[in-house]
Structure 1
């Protein structure tokens, strides 16, 4: 728990450093925030720290690609075991001799006749590799089985961390302005971005200044905001 807290404190410090004073002041003005500037900044740092923590712990690799990578690793580990089991006796002896030489320094490091320690054991690289490969196969198969069990279920968001950030920003916006966030994000064909409203402008400005390119196009951001706010 202490380690997690330490990581969070470090991350918060990084967020503090990345969030410029000018950006905070601009956002404060854009929405006409009621809180003092220092409190507004503190709230943004808290929200962005949560975003960063969430982003670090959520899967970003598409499910199809994850399945392909895990399948490939499982199959390669199986091939390694098959290759080791197929070694001819003389090849196995040569391999053991060479491995003993390769690992000699590591196995004998720190040993001396005065240490009263038992003689270092023989090299176990082949056996260790086989056990490791078996564990890798089992771990990969567990994840692949989970994919099978959840097949057909409704797909979640491709970027849940961003969705959570938008939801948190909406709560901040509503608390600071007494206006509903969804009423301040709407289609506007005259606007260059295709969307307008205080909440949309605030969100886009924050992302442009703090996490550029995270949302794709302004239109995609507007669509995502409206979807997230609808599901709140």
Structure 2
């Protein structure tokens, strides 16, 4: 897969999500054209983002004049105005932007965005709510669902798998998860405590932080084990 980090990105809609995205892209060296229909908002952000313009992105001619049809990637980060979000997404598809990302407010909104041309649809509020719900259990240090019903989590090892090599602990057969990384709570003198790949020879100790992957229910069951 080609490395596309240096390809410019058009970010349309400068609410909290759009601004955070644009700033992070710029931070990593990506050229960003940020667009918002509010001249005051564009002016406010001009000191933080190199290329900010005030324009009505629901106007096809305005998009063309901005040269967005020449961008390989665009993000529709428009927030509460669902109609504008759908219209802009459809126009980006019409002018031939090959990689369109769009923010959705609801599942229905996401479905419509995909139908009118979005190649990728994100639901940040829903995803964050889901993540926090899992973290509130108290067993997980971090959690991300990487696909439907499949997750990666940061947690501590149960006592019954500590002190023996992973291959002997039978974590996968007993719990249905795979330990992919470990961060020792007591690294050797002179070494930083950082994540390393886990192998069959890895011996987990109580207090270590581990990364596990597996189906959501299995990950939660493993994290809750004593």
Fold-level match, TM-score > 0.5?
no
The structure richer in strand per residue is 2
Computing the radius of gyration from Cα coordinates, the structure with the larger value is 1
TM bucket by the smaller chain?
under 0.3
Which of structures 1 and 2 has the larger relative contact order (alpha carbons within 8 angstroms, sep 6+)?
A: 1
More helix by share: 1
TM-score, normalised with respect to structure 2: 0.21
TM-score (norm 1): 0.21
